[in-house]
Structures are given as C-alpha cells and as structure tokens.
Chain A
Amino acid sequence: MTNTPLYYAEYLKIYKLANYRFKFLVESLEYETGHLERLSLFEDILLENESNLNLVFQASKHDDVVTIAFAELISLPRQTIIENTAIFESIFSRAITGKYLYSCDKALINIRALFAKKKCGLSMNFIKDILYDKALDTKIKIAIAQDVSENDDYSLNINWSTINLATNSFIIPAYMYVFHKRDPEKSLSALITVDIDFANNYFDFFFYPIEITLLQLLQVQNKFKEYFILKQRIKSKKILDIIDDTINKSSELRSFIDSPEVYAINLNEESYALRLKNFAFDNYEMN
C-alpha cells in the first residue's frame, strides 16, 4: 500500500486491544503522538479517502467503509470533538482554499454534518468568517446558518433582526427558523425577500422552515389571514409551489385551509389587504 498515512504504524500497535478500535486510535494519537497524526486521520475520514480508511475500518455487507468511518467519527465523545476544534477548523480552511482539489465539497459537507450533529465543533468567530466569506459555496453557508439558528449557544448571541435579508439571502431559512415560534408572520414575511433565482437554486432548504412556520401560524389561527396577504407578495413561483405542497401534504394544514372560516377569509382577501395596508411586516431592512 502506498502513501501509508501517518497514523497507521501507531494504529497497528493498538488495534487488537478492543472492539472500539477507532476510539483507541484517537486516544493513542492524543497521548502519544499528536496533532499531525490526528489531522491526518480526521482528514482521511472527512475527505472520504477510501484506501486509507480501509486500513482502520471494516466495511460490512450493509455499510461501506466511508459511511462506517464517518459514523465512528460522530460517535466520539462531544468533549473529544471540542478538544479537536482547531483541527476541524484547519481542515475546513484548507477545504475552502481548495487545498484538497476534488474532495473540497465532501470535506465541507462532512464537517458541517459533524458540527450539526454534535452541536459544537467550530468557534463563533470562525462561523462568522465562514458566513461572510463570499467565495464559499452558498449551500454550505445556508446549511451552517441553519445549524447556528438551531443551536441556542450560538443563536442567542446573534441579533437576527438586524440582518439585511435582501443582501444575505443565505440567512433566510435560518432566520425563518429563529422567528417561526415567537413571530410566525415575521418568519413568513422573510420569503418576500427571496428572489427567483435564489429560490430556484436552493429551494431544498425552504421546505422545513416553511412547514414549521405554517404549522405555527395554525396555532394562532386568527393570524392565518395574514398568510394570504403575505403570499401575494412572494415573487418566487418555486416558493409558492413549496407552500402549496406543504399544505397539500399536511392533513392538519389542509383541513384548516379547507374550512369554511378560511374560505371566507380567502374570499375577503382584498378587503383584508386594505384594512391591513399598514401592517408592519418589516422589522428588517427591505433593501
């Protein structure tokens, strides 16, 4: 085998000690050798370097070695992941700068999944740098912003209302998650700022925030009429399709929308629009 990884020789000494071979290997690298070996091991997992992973993990009938290796990484104690933050940030930075050529996307996606699952991993300053890095892939930025919005440790430290959604569209799904419970109208109104191209390219990220927002709006039923007014201001057909799909698939939402009360609201949509013309949607900057 060529290009034998740095951690391999060390691994051979210890692998027979236990079933939890990967955890032993990580511990061994922490206590005996250190940073470079851990970096090398974690890089192989995050870059899905199959030939090197075959040296450490066993594929089975049902799971390939890449899947098993990533599951093992995620099974490490949260504390171990936190202690290795510098390593993950280093791998992330190298991925962003194209250090890994073809595997850059894999590394970014895997680090993001690790970070989401363990609710830790990257420092707040590092996250800010990522979110405002114009060169970074938008899908990764949207996903990381969403992870941040679901993690109170990070989310509570951000003043979401001051973010300019029109110039930072990647924040919108995260913004909707943050506001869906306490102010579902505000969450829904963020969709007005979504431009057509952005929605066409990244619509996958809107299913969940739209669903939880509509379900929350249902909890405050007298607010549902605003939904009809907001809906008229949404530019993207893709977003409108997602809203329709969400309503059609949810028995709860469908039965409410089909109810006589809502039917009446719908008929009177225009008069509501007039009465609510000064409705304060905009606690954020529209432009």
Chain B
Amino acid sequence: MNNKYFLTVIEQFEEKERNALHELLSKWECCTIWEGCVEFQECNHKKLVDNIRNEHFLAKDSFYEILNYFLSNSDKELSEVLNLLRSNILENYILKGGNVIKKPAFLATCVKKNILENYLLKNNYTLNETERFFQKDPAEFNVKEKKTLLKFSNRLIWVTWDEFDEVDPYNFLHTLSVDAICDAMALDKSYRNKQLALLYFMVDPNRLDQFPIYRPTWCDANFFDKFSPTDPSKEIRWGQTSPTVQLNLKPNYQERRPEGVVLSNNLPCEYLNRRIKIIHP
C-alpha cells in the first residue's frame, strides 16, 4: 500500500517524535492481546494500524491532531487510547475526507431491516405504521415520512453508487443477494443471515453541487478493520469498498465499489426514489 500521505503528515513532527510514532505503531501492530475492551479483541490489529499508515483523505490538521494524541498517550494500551479517541471522533474527526468529486445523483445504502424498524419505533412510529412505511412508494410519503431520518442525528450513512451513473447502484452484481451485498460492501459479519433493506436515493441534479458527500476515512469507519483506505494512485474522486471475496461482476465494473459518507441529517427519506427493497438471506 501507499503511505506517502502519512509520511507527509508526520514530517510536521520533530525527528524524535517521528521515531517515537513509528515505534509506537510498530508496537501496536505486533500486539496480540488487546486486553480491556471486547470490541477490539476480535479485530485485525495489524490491519487497523495499517489503516492509519495508509490513510489519504483525512485532513492533515485532523490527522496531525490524532497522531499527536497517540504520542501523548503512548504509555497506555492501544485499546484504551482508541476508546478514548472514539468518544471524540463523532464530534471532531468525522467527515474530514474532503468532498467526493463528480457527485452521483443516484445513491444507495443498505441497512439491517430490523435495525431500521427499531429506529422507526423509537421515532413515534407504531408497529403497523412501520410495516406500511416499508411497503409505501416514496412518491406517496406524507410529511412525517419524508422528514424521517435513517439514523440518529449526526450519524454517518455509508452510500454507494454506480460509476457509470446508472440509476441502480447495485447494477454491478449479476444477482442481488445478502451474501453478494455483504461481500461487495464489506459489511460486518452480523449482516449475514439477516434481512437487508436496500434504500435507493436520488439527489435533485440542481442541488447536487451543494449536496455534501464525503470521501471516507479511517475515522469515519469507526476503526472498523474491514475498511481499507483508498489508494489515491488508483482513485482520487471517491472512496472504494474493500470486498471480502472475489465478486461475480458484470463486465467493466471494478471490484472495489465507490463509497462515500453522508451525515444522516442530510439524507432524510424525502430523497428515496423507489420502494425500499428487502432481500432475504
């Protein structure tokens, strides 16, 4: 992978600090037991550290701040450092990857159906109203349904699209299945064997320039180890997914799918342009 950007960021540190940072990351990636935090025990620690080195889109000032934070907490376990950092991520370090270049008009995202149902129930929907929401044509959405968000405020929605501007962002797949979506989008293993809801959005072409879609960074991915920073020598316009297996693609499509992040507040259901599609495992 390409760590040029990381090297330019650490150039801002004194030589002694630079060496300390290199040493720290080397120590962390060799660390086999990460005590104290369940959520990091199962992840690939080397990959997580590699992601820091291979990051390219994260704004330099934010990147510098995080590395500086690592240095000042170098005596602590990585899991502890990351846990402390994680509590600041939402406020300070998300959406720092810069805008997606050549924004797509047709976007899609994928959520677990039950998680979306739970979220609607928490937002004054009844059980039957929730069922109706899933069956409704978005053209018939009322005011309440239109303003409904897919997640709590200020959370990230990961979106994908078709690089050839096709209406269907999942057009690259021969067959739409839970496994194919999980592989292509590098979804967490908990998504397998679950009903998935595919949501298709359209942004008004006249508003596209102002519509905020960001290139994803290591921080947006919330330290998720299946995430891989995009190599700018291969793609600079947007982020790319990191498929877990070789995909059965239609001709001319790339394995790594376009991806970007949008703030939940900016993508309410009024942008849905077709019925929610449920796919079963």
Residues on A close to B: CB < 8 A? 1, 15, 50, 54-65, 67-68, 70-71, 74-75, 109-110, 112-113, 116-117, 119, 139, 143, 146-147, 150, 177, 204-205, 207-208, 211, 242, 245-246, 249-251
Residues in A whose Cβ lies below 8 Å from that of B124: 139, 143, 204-205
Which residues of the partner chain A approach B255 to less than 8 Å between Cβ atoms? none
CA distance A60 to B38 in the complex (A): 13
Tell which of B1-9, B64-72, B140-148 binds the partner: B140-148
Interface members, chain B 193-227 (any A CB < 8 Å)? 221-222, 224, 226-227
Whether B127 is near chain A, meaning CB under 8 Å from some CB there, is yes
Query: B245 at interface (Cβ–Cβ under 8 A)?
Result: no
Q: Give the distance in Å from the alpha carbon of A115 to the alpha carbon of B118 in the complex.
A: 11
Closest to B132 in A: A208
A110 to chain B, nearest CB (A): 7
- Cα separation A116 to B42 with both chains bound (whole Å): 34
Which residues from A are CB-within-8-Å of B155?
Answer: 64
Question: Is B127's CB under 8 angstroms from A150's CB?
Answer: yes
- Contact at B126–A150, with CB atoms within 8 Å? yes
**Which one of B98-106, B108-116, B246-254 contacts A?**
B108-116
Q: Residue on A with the closest CB to B141? A: A249
Nearest to B225 among chain A residues (CB) is A61
Bound Cα distance A222, B153 (Å): 45
Q: Which residue of A lies closest to B117 (CB)?
A: A117
| Assembly CA distance A17 to B114 (angstroms) | 25
Residues from chain B with a CB closer than 8 A to the CB of A119 are 127
Q: Beyond the given A54-B83, A116-B127, A207-B142, could you list 8 further A-B residue pairs with CB under 8 A, ordered by the A residue number?
A: A15-B38, A61-B227, A62-B187, A116-B121, A117-B118, A207-B143, A208-B128, A249-B141
Q: A250 vs B42: C-alpha distance in the bound complex, in angstroms?
A: 49
**Min distance, Cβ B48 to any Cβ of chain A, angstroms:** 12
A251 touching B140 by the CB < 8 A rule? yes
- B interface with A by C-beta (< 8 Å): 36-39, 42, 83, 87, 111-112, 114-115, 117-119, 121-122, 124-129, 132, 139-145, 151, 155, 158, 186-188, 190-191, 221-222, 224, 226-227
Q: A71 to B112, Cβ gap below 8 A?
A: yes
Chain A's nearest CB lies how many Å from the CB of B136?
A: 9
Question: 30 A-B Cβ contacts within 8 A?
Answer: A50-B87, A54-B83, A55-B37, A55-B38, A58-B38, A60-B188, A60-B190, A61-B226, A63-B112, A67-B151, A71-B114, A74-B118, A113-B121, A116-B121, A117-B118, A119-B127, A139-B124, A146-B126, A150-B128, A205-B124, A207-B142, A207-B143, A208-B125, A208-B126, A208-B132, A211-B142, A242-B142, A249-B140, A249-B142, A250-B140
Partner of B127, one of A71, A117, A207, A251: A117
Quick one: closest A residue to B42, CB to CB?
A58
By a CB distance below 8 angstroms, the chain A residues around B118 are 67, 70-71, 74, 113, 117
CB–CB A75/B42 < 8 A: no
In the bound assembly, the distance between CA atoms of A150 and B126 in angstroms comes to 8
State how many angstroms separate the Cβ of A51 from the closest Cβ of chain B: 8
Given contacts A75-B114, A207-B143, A251-B140, contact A61 B158 (CB under 8 A): yes
Chain A residues positioned under 8 Å from B224 (CB to CB)? 60-61
| Bound-state Cα–Cα, A94 to B126, Å | 24
* A242 neighbours in B (Cβ, 8 Å): 142-143
- Given A59-B222, A61-B158, A75-B114, A147–B39 Cβ distance below 8 Å? no
A57/B39 in contact, CB under 8 A: yes
Task: Give Cα A143 to B123, complex, Å.
Answer: 10
**Cβ of B39 and Cβ of A58 under 8 Å apart?**
yes
Choose one: A70, A146, A245; the contact of B143 (CB below 8 Å).
A245
Query: In the complex, what's the smallest C-beta–C-beta distance from B39 to chain A, in angstroms?
Result: 4
Q: What residues of chain B lie closer than 8 Å to A249, measured between beta carbons? A: 139-142
Task: State how many angstroms separate the Cβ of B213 from the closest Cβ of chain A.
Answer: 16
A245 engages B222 (CB within 8 Å): no
From the candidates B115, B144, B158, name the one contacting A207 in the complex (CB within 8 A).
Answer: B144
Smallest Cβ distance from B126 to chain A, in angstroms?
5
Least CB distance from A256 to B in Å reads: 14
- Determine if A56 and B122 form an interchain contact, defined as CB atoms under 8 angstroms apart: no
A205 to B31, CA, bound (A): 53
A56 and B39 CA atoms in complex are apart in Å by 8
| A-B pairs with lowest CB-CB distance, top 3 | A61-B224, A60-B188, A113-B121
The reply to whether B115 and A67 form a contact with Cβ atoms under 8 Å apart is yes
Q: Which residues of B contact A146 (CB under 8 A)?
A: 126
